[in-house]
């Protein structure tokens, strides 16, 4: 199953998370085997650069000339040998040879056997030669595209670039946000601990709980009954930055799947109104489903292009606006490892142009004295501080209040202050990379 998914991701451009989920739903695998498939798929994709670098040494005609299934079978087997300690190396080799016999012919299985046995004899891998230069070394060692490593070195320096890449290869933590309209964090935490879960309070968000090895919490009764939502810790900070109060009128411009919308509803004690918009009707339905599950009646959904909201909604009519802008997503590589191989430098530039237009457009809907939060789940300042700086330059009636917020008081010393916003990087708290800027329309 893992091999089949890897081939489709490479050949058809399938998204690993969607394909993995649908494959597991159709299968009758045990929980342990489903976990192993997940580890093999994400791990092999995440470490692909390193695996290919090693394989080039052992495949005489080069891995590019191999059939896609053979190339991915070698990657998958090498991943187990290099990075997993509970699967004996000889078992990984035998399994690869058996699959090669089934899918190919004697010649291919002989080649697979020969390559992998040579790998076993080689000892500790990868062997990275001296004098490569930091970008090339980090790219091979931590398996990231060289253009991205160079970008991060320019933006943040060698040490931070290396820390980001290392953090992106760690498995993501499971974190949930407590619906405080129904239960306190302390009460839910003690219930989880009573039920034998390894749960602890989030250090990042006062609304978060981090769970180790708890399985899929979206299948729990707590989720069904609306006590919690599955959400990354960094993402929980966004609604906190918006700081909506009961009775306010709030706009969430690009709201699906609705995690931040729901969090704002919870913070407002479900008093007031939130207009949650998303371009796609089926995604807007996800938001209303979330609100219903959490018992929130203050959320109303709509589906239109966020650039057109200024044509249909009254100007200067919202107390709070959240623009969680479409972005390159380079802060969530840990959760979506194929992202780093799909994205190109031009993607960052093209999305930044859209972000600037969106910010300019939706800002017209904010009341004097109101607050607009601009956020993204990326590490790129082209999409973050540069977009905000250009906006502030064009709009003297707006000012940044990011660093006067309680949120900055809590994150200062770990997160970075970049331009007029807070930049969280994946290694700061082991959560997603996020940018949050808090702007106010001055009276």
Which amino acids are annotated catalytic? 377
Q: For the packed helices 68-83 and 48-58, what is the interaxial angle rounded to 10 degrees?
A: 100
Report residue 59 as tokens.
């495949």
Q: Is 255 annotated as a binding residue?
A: yes
DSSP for 35-87, please give it. HHHHHHHHHHHHTHHHHHHHHHHH-TT-GGGS-HHHHHHHHHHHHHHHH-SSS
Is residue 78 a contact partner of residue 54, using CB atoms and an 8 Å limit?
yes
Give the whole-angstrom CA distance, residue 278 versus residue 301.
8
Q: Is 368 annotated as a binding residue?
A: no
Q: Is 52 annotated as a binding residue?
A: no
Q: Is 254 annotated as a binding residue?
A: yes
Q: Is 225 annotated as a binding residue?
A: no
Q: Is 278 annotated as a binding residue?
A: yes
Distances (CA, A) of 49 to 52, 170, 192, 220, 347: 5, 16, 39, 37, 21
Report residue 138 as tokens.
């980090």
Cα 20 to chain centroid, rounded? 16
Pairing of strands 318-324, 421-424: unpaired
Give the whole-angstrom CA distance, residue 229 versus residue 290.
9
Helix (H) or strand (E) segment spanning residue 254? none
Q: Is 258 annotated as a binding residue?
A: yes
Is residue 297 a contact partner of residue 270, using CB atoms and an 8 Å limit?
yes
Q: In degrees, to the nearest 5, what angle opens at C-alpha 270 toward C-alphas 329 and 302?
A: 55
In this structure, is the dihedral angle defined by the CA atoms of residues 63, 68, 73 and 79, taken in order, positive or negative?
positive
Sorted by sequence, the CB contacts under 8 Å of residue 139 that are 6+ apart come out as 49, 145, 146, 149
Pairing of strands 249-252, 273-277: parallel
Residue labelled with tokens 């799909």: 342
Give the whole-angstrom CA distance, residue 236 versus residue 253.
17
In this structure, is the dihedral angle defined by the CA atoms of residues 158, 159, 160 and 161, taken in order, positive or negative?
positive
Helices (H) and strands (E) in the chain, counts: 21, 13
Binding residue positions for S-adenosyl-L-methionine: 254-260, 278, 305, 324
Binding residue positions: 254-260, 278, 305, 324
């Amino acid at each position: 199953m893992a091999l089949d998914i890897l081939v489709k991701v490479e050949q058809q451009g399938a998204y690993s998370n969607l394909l993995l989920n649908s494959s597991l739903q159709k299968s009758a695998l045990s929980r342990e085997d489903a976990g192993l498939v997940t580890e093999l798929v994400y791990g092999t994709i995440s470490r692909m650069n390193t695996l290919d670098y090693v394989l080039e040494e052992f495949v005489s005609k080069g891995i590019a000339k191999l059939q896609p299934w053979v190339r991915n079978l070698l990657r998958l087997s090498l991943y187990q040998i290099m990075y997993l300690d509970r699967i004996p190396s000889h078992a990984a080799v035998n399994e690869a040879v058996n699959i090669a016999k089934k899918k190919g012919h004697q010649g291919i299985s002989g080649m697979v056997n020969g390559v992998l046995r040579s790998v076993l004899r080689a000892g500790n891998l990868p062997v990275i030669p001296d004098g490569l230069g930091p970008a090339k070394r980090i790219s091979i060692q931590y398996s990231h595209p060289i253009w991205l490593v160079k970008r991060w070195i320019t933006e943040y320096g060698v040490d931070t670039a290396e820390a980001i890449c290392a953090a992106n290869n760690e498995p993501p933590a499971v974190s949930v946000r407590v619906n405080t309209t129904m239960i306190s964090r302390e009460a839910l935490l003690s219930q989880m601990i009573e039920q034998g879960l390894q749960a602890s309070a989030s250090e990042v968000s006062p609304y978060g709980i981090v769970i180790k090895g708890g399985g899929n919490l979206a299948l729990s009764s707590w989720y069904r009954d609306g006590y919690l939502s599955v959400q990354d810790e960094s993402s929980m900070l966004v609604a906190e930055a918006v700081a909506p109060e009961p009775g306010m009128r709030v706009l969430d411009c690009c709201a699906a799947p609705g995690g931040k919308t729901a969090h704002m509803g919870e913070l407002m004690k479900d008093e007031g109104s939130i207009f949650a918009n998303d371009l796609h009707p089926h995604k807007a339905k996800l938001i209303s489903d979330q609100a219903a599950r959490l018992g929130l009646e203050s959320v109303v959904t709509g589906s239109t292009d966020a650039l057109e909201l200024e044509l249909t909604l009254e100007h200067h009519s919202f107390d709070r606006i959240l623009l969680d802008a479409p972005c390159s997503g380079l802060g969530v590589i840990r959760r979506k490892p194929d992202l780093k191989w799909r994205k190109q430098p031009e993607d960052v530039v093209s999305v930044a142009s859209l972000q600037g237009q969106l910010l300019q457009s939706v800002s017209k809907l904010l009341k004097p004295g109101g607050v607009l939060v601009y956020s993204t789940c990326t590490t790129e300042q082209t999409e973050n501080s540069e977009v905000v700086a250009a906006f502030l330059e064009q709009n003297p009636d707006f000012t940044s209040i990011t660093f006067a917020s309680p949120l900055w008081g809590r994150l200062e010393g770990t997160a970075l202050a970049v331009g007029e916003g807070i930049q969280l990087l994946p290694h700061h708290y082991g959560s997603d990379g996020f940018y949050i800027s808090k702007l106010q329309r001055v009276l």
